[in-house]
Every structure is written in C-alpha cells, then in structure tokens.
Amino acid sequence: MVDTSKSFVGKTDSYRSRSSDFIFEDLSEAEIEEEEVTNGSQDIIIEDIVVEEPIEEIFVPVQITDRIFFVDLANKKLTAIPCQVFDLKDLEELHLERNMIESIPESIDQLKNVKVLYLNKNNIGTLCKEFGELKCLQNLDLSNNPLSCDSLNIVSKLRALCQLRLYDVNLDEFPVEICKHLHHLKLLGLSTNNLTCLPKEVVNMTKLTEIYLKSNKFENFPQELCHLYNLEIIDLEKNELNSIPEEICSLKRLAQFFIAYNSLTAVPDTLSKCSKLSILDLSNNLLHKLPRSLKELTEIKEFGLSGNPLANFPRQIRRWRSLIVVYLKNCTLQMVHPSLAKLTNMMILDLSENLLDTFPREICTMENLEVLALDDNQITEVPPEVHRLSRLKCLGLTSNRFAWFPEEIFHLQSLEKLYMGQDKGTKLADLPENISQLQNLKELYLEKNDLEYLPTSIGLLNNLEILDCHNNFLIELPDSICRLQGKIKKTNDPDKGLLQCLSSLKEHHFGVTTDYLGTCFVFLQS
C-alpha cells in the first residue's frame, strides 16, 4: 500500500542554523571541523567523535582568543556543559541537544551574546536564576526534559525570546508569567504535554504567529487563540475537541490549520472567512459533511479529510483550483464528483480504503499527478485514459478486484513505485511480459498473489531496487533475474521480499538448481 503518512508538505517546525544553514533534525557524528571566516571568527562543530561512556568535558580545538559564534555539541553523551564553552564571549548559537545534562551551571550568565540555545532531550529538572540573565536569547528549546513547572518562570525573564519550544516537558499548566512578559514571542511549541487550557494572559502575546498544541488534553478549543490576530499556524492535532468556535473567523492571517484526530462533528461556516488558508487538515474526526461556505477557501493547496464518515464526496473542493495535495482515505466514498477533473494542479491524491468499484476517470485529467493511492477499494479495471498521467511516479492498487494484471499501467513511463499486492483483493495469477516497459520502475510490490512464475522480462527492469514477492507460489525464477545483480536491495524485513521466496525454493527443491539459487542469494544479500 502507498504510504502517504508523511502528510502535509507545509507542516514543519524545523530548527534552522544561522551558521551552517541547514535543518537540524538528525545530526550525524563526523570529524572535528574548524571553518575560518573572513572576519577572523570560527564555527565549532564537534562531529564524528565516537563517545562510548558519558563524559563531562570535551576538547574544543581552538584558541580562546578566537571569536567563536557557533558551537555544536549535540549528541555527545555529555553529563554537563563543558566549562570551556563559557569562555566563548562572542558565542551566539549553542547546540547541546540529545545529551545527558542534568543541570545548568550558574556560569551560564557569561554567555551574554547567545541568541540560539538548544537544550532539548537532556535530563534537566530545574533552571538556575542566572539562566534568566541571557538577555539576548531569541530562540530556546527545552523540549524533552523533566522540568519542574516552577523553574519555567525563569524563562519569563528572557524578554528577547522570539521562539520557545517546550515539547514533552510534562506541563499541566502553562506559566502565566511567560504570557505576561514574553511580548516578542512568535513561535510557541507546547505539543505533547498535559494541558487542558491556556491562561487568559496568553492574549498578551500579540506577535505570536505559530502555536503548536498537538497531543495535549484540550476538550474545548482555546478561545484565547481567536484574539491572537497574527496567528498563521495552529496545530491542535490529537486532542479531545468536539467543536471549533465561530470566532475562528477573526484570524484573517491563518494559513495552516491542523485539527486532525479530534472528535469534531461539524465545522463552522465562519471558517470560510479565513481566506488565507493554504493547508487544512480535518482528518480523523466525526464529520459527515462540510459547510458549503468552505468553497470560498480558494487558496487551499493541501487538504486532509481522511478517516471521516462522509455521506458524499465533498463538492466544495471543486472550487479549490490551487489544490496539490488531497487526503480522502477511509471516507466510505462510493464515487467521486465529476468536477474533480478540474483540479489539474493535483500532485498527491489519496483515495485508498473507500468503496470505489471503478477507477475514477476524472483522475486521468490530472496531468501533474505524481502520487495516486487507490488501495483497498473494489476496482476491477484501469481505464485506457490513464496514459495521460505522464508524471505519475507512485501508484497504489493493492487489495482491489482485478481479474488480471491491468496492462494499461504499462503506459505510465514515469512510474517508479507500483503496489499490486492483494492481501484482501482478487489475487493475480500472472505478471505480463510487458512489465519491462516500465523502465523507470524502482520498486515493485507483488506480495500475497498467486504467482507461480515471474516473466523473463523482469530482468530488463534496469532500475529495479526492490522486488517484493512474499506469500506467492513461485516454483522457479527466470535466469534473467540475475541481470539485476548488485541492484536489488536487501529488504529490512527478513520474512518479506524475494529473499524469502528464494529461501522457500531452495528448501523445497522445486526443480531449481542450488547453483542457480546460490547466484541469486549472493547479489540479493549484498
């Protein structure tokens, strides 16, 4: 099945470094680097040092007289902040995330010029009062630490803060003092806590543009948000909300609204007044329909409505000509509306796990489509018009009701991933020789069918990297498959893929020579 779980292109709260200008997500460990710049300053990135045991200090290979603006000590098993760091008077950005630091020393106040500080994923329980002396600090991440609520009041003294991340710190209440004093805050991250409400003083944060409240315990929509008129991103996924207030219309700048995995039974008409919305995710709620007024949201580019018990296809989206991503998975849809054909900018469309008994011909007008998921439906054939999808790279047709392999697919010359496993659908007995026409194919999934043979032409798929044939009835393999030597990747699951089929063949000696199988084993396991 096609995996569209990556969800929305625009949904991100990324850490961007000033010095190296890349996103800090999973920093690799590399060698020590010292980069000299024209003004005589240096950035210190401690990488590729293998640390077996927790340590308190780490050697910083520079002279103290050098001007250092950036230091990266992330993921070094540090139990304390190295004392050398506090001698770097010009330091502006310090990364200490993913260590085992338990406390912040009083000497932290020596970092008078630090603007960016990442301390997430440590063991910090309290903050010393000197922490509040970091008057230049603009970006602070204390996420994933066992912080006491009282110690967070120190953060309210950091009046220059623009970004504050407190993800997964076991917060039951958000400190009022922070709301009262951090007037420059633009991003507030409070996801994965135990919050049931926000203090009314949060309305003082008038410059706030992004707020992340995912995975908390809100039963009621925080009305205070409707008074933060500069908000552009609201994330309230995975809470216990049953309604959206009509006052949502006051957020004229709202561009991204994530409220999936709640218990919404209706969407207010007034949401249509949020005319700048470009991303709207209402997935996995209890919605039967959408208000007609939402047709006015003509700027929407990405829309999620998966996992709702819809009575009919949401016709409102036919007016959203800018749409490029739509998720309508598991919505009990029996058909799509003909007006879907007008959405010619579509790039990703997920209609899997519905009740469609025909391949929607309207889709064939979407000449920019790259990903199409129609898995787990009741489709019996693919229309010849499918050849118009000249940019399609990924097609999911698992668990449908094809009597034979739909050869119309072979016209999709750009296809790179094809999913034809039939766990719940009608099982295929043959794979046509014409499969070789898909010269760009990299991944082919044929699991849980009734295949006894693979076509000789399978060896002509020169770009094939993954071939999954587990749970078939393969008797033998064509010699041509050895042409793929060095190209087929080993599957992460030892019980799946061609390796498992070969093992079964070798064990039962189904007329295949050991030498032949041995050759395949060599390149499949490499």
CATH 3.80.10.10 domain residues, the chain: 68-191, 218-332
Query: Distance between CA atoms of 368 and 344, rounded to whole angstroms?
Result: 7
Per residue in 345-373, pLDDT (tens digit) is 999 999 999 999 999 999 999 999 999 99
The DSSP result for 206-243, as a single string, is TT--EEE--SS--SS--GGGGG-TT--EEE--SS----
The predicted structure's pLDDT at residue 517: 36
The predicted structure's pLDDT at residue 2: 74
Query: Which one, of 26, 68, 25, 21, lies nearest residue 44 by Cα?
Result: 68
C-alpha of 318 from chain center: 26
Query: Distance between CA atoms of 78 and 229, rounded to whole angstroms?
Result: 42
CB atoms within 10 A of CB 495: 10
User: Residue 330: which region, alpha, beta or left (left: phi > 0; alpha: psi -120 to 50)?
Assistant: left
The predicted structure's pLDDT at residue 50: 41
The predicted structure's pLDDT at residue 61: 52
Do the strands 139-141 and 233-235 form a parallel or antiparallel pair, or are they unpaired? unpaired
> In CATH, which of 3.80.10.10, 3.40.50.920, 3.30.70.270, 3.20.20.70 is domain 218-332?
3.80.10.10
Half-sphere exposure of 167 toward its Cβ, with a 13 Å CA cutoff?
18
Do the strands 33-36 and 41-45 form a parallel or antiparallel pair, or are they unpaired? antiparallel
Burial 358-373 (b: 16+ CB within 10 A, else e): ebbebbbbbeebbbbb
- What residues in the chain have per-residue pLDDT under 50? 9-10, 14-41, 47-52, 62, 494-500, 503-504, 506-526
The predicted structure's pLDDT at residue 91: 96
DSSP annotation of 55: B
**CA-based torsion, 168, 170, 173, 178: positive or negative:** negative
Q: Domain 68-191 carries which CATH code?
A: 3.80.10.10
The predicted structure's pLDDT at residue 483: 79
Residue 8 in tokens: 């929305």
Query: Which one, of 407, 498, 409, 485, lies nearest residue 446 by Cα?
Result: 498
